[in-house]
Structure 1
């Protein structure tokens, strides 16, 4: 397994930084992340 197979500390994968979740969940995940960081 190479380092692109594992997420970084922000949960991003590979050189493009995508998250491995369905696109329809992104608004909810962004809201959750912002609430967590407060």
Structure 2
């Protein structure tokens, strides 16, 4: 499992567990991924 896939799975789990709005999670995750990998 790649680091990116691991984090995506982790955030997906958190979003369901905490019932966070998917739109907010996607926006935050996209911004964070750009800082880390791009």
Q: TM-score, normalised by structure 2?
A: 0.41
Greater percentage in helix: 2
Q: TM-score, normalised by structure 1?
A: 0.41
Which structure would you say has the larger RCO, counting Cα contacts within 8 Å and 6 or more residues apart? Answer: 2
